Amino acid sequence: MILKEINWGMIGCGNVTEKKSGPAFNKVPHSALVAVMARDINKATDYAQRHNVPRWYDSVEALLADPEVNAIYIATPPNVHADYAIQAMRAGKAVYVEKPMALNAAECAAMNQVSAETGMPLFVAYYRRALPNFIQIKALVDAKVIGDIRLVHLRIHHPPQAEEVGENPQPRWRVMPEISGGGHFHDLASHQLDYLEYLLGAIKSTQGMARNQADLYPADDIVVANFEFASGVLGSGTWCFTLNPEQRIDETQIIGSKGKISFAFFNDSPIRVETAEGIVEYPIPYPENVQQPFIESIVQELRGEGKCPSSGVSGARANALMDQITG
């Protein structure tokens, strides 16, 4: 499938589309956001008028029938990703879907099957694969700056979200497994597991435990996991979302035979490299719209000029691993 101009129709107009993704579609050459859809027509109208999107709809069917639209961006909760993606591909549209790719690995497999049957490209929003700071980390690892990789350790320790506690808690959809596929672990660890496979190759086995300790919402709020890469590198991780603010941490360590690389997954604090020669830091800020480099790679692939680093096949891996970890 080769396109000259990529005219995007966007399903959903929530928070992620305001800055992370939505504006980027119009900043990339040969790309334009031409239509938006939300079930609430008032939300679609508001988003379109604020972002200068020419057309808006309140049904997926109407958006897919728009003759100018040749690619679809799905920015909804995961419970409708598979349905909308399959509809779009069968309508002859390329698809870019938010992460996690779907509720579970089975839905991801169904999406990939339709992509293969229709020949429609399917991309998943694991955009860290294209961010400059994560490209720098991969370059450091590939250059063996810290030697042969031995161990990976992940820590995400967060306090509860404000809406999850208090006299009248109103937890959001991200901690409702029937909508999100899990809890905060599924939202955040999907990025981490995807990038680690991009960085170090396939994870061949994993095991874990997921529990709900604080009873603030239906989903798990603590997860621990061990995993082994096909290369022999070992890894572990802990994710806890009910700690006090002073314990908040976002740290990943890649430990090699000659040193280690430490970095945060969810902020742009400097990459820290420690070896016998000393400590070197790489401060690389995020772009204004963090998905823009990744969207550029999608547009290049659709135009036959390059290759996007994340596909439906690679994107499904994170769901499979999370299914194994959480049981």
Q: Would you call 272 helix, strand, or coil by DSSP?
A: strand
Contact 86, 301 (CB under 8 A): no
pLDDT tens for 102-130 read: 999 999 999 999 999 999 999 999 999 99
| Angstrom distances, CA of residue 207 to CA of 39, 229, 323 | 39, 12, 10
Q: Work out the average pLDDT over 80-94.
A: 98
Structural domains of the chain, with CATH: 6-127 (3.40.50.720), 132-285 (3.30.360.10)
Element (H, E) at 122: strand 122-124
CA 254 to chain centre: 20
From start to end of 247-316, where are the E strands? Answer: 249-256, 259-263, 271-275, 278-282
Task: Quote the CA–CA distance of 239 and 228 in Å, as a whole number.
Answer: 18
Q: Name the CA dihedral angle for 67, 70, 73, 74, rounded to a multiple of 10 degrees.
A: 60
Q: Work out the average pLDDT over 296-321.
A: 98
In the chain, the amino acid numbered 248 is R
Whole-prediction pTM: 0.96
Residue 53 pairs in a beta bridge with: none
Task: Quote the CA–CA distance of 305 and 219 in Å, as a whole number.
Answer: 42
Q: Give every CB contact of residue 208 below 8 A, 6+ residues apart in sequence.
A: 223, 224, 225, 226, 324, 325, 326, 327
Residue 1: pLDDT over 90: no
Element (H, E) at 109: helix 105-118
Q: Give every CB contact of residue 323 below 8 A, 6+ residues apart in sequence.
A: 104, 105
Length of the chain, please? Answer: 327
pLDDT tens for 197-254 read: 999 999 999 999 999 999 999 999 999 999 999 999 999 999 999 999 999 999 999 9
Q: Work out the average pLDDT over 3-30.
A: 97
Nearest to 50 by CA among 64, 36, 68: 36
Contact 134, 142 (CB under 8 A): no
Q: Is 213 exposed, middle or buried (0-12, 13-18, 19+ CB in 10 A)?
A: exposed
Q: What percent of the chain has pLDDT over 70?
A: 100
Average pLDDT along the chain: 98
Task: Quote the CA–CA distance of 176 and 123 in Å, as a whole number.
Answer: 25
In the chain, the N- to C-terminal Cα span, in Å, equals: 38
- What pLDDT is attached to residue 279? 98
In the chain, the amino acid numbered 15 is N
pLDDT tens for 155-192 read: 999 999 999 999 999 999 999 999 999 999 999 999 99
pLDDT tens for 248-288 read: 999 999 999 999 999 999 999 999 999 999 999 999 999 99
Q: What DSSP string describes 186-247?
A: HHHHHHHHHHHHHHH--EEEEEEEEE--S-SSSS--EEEEEEEETTS-EEEEEEESSS-GGG
Contact 81, 101 (CB under 8 A): yes
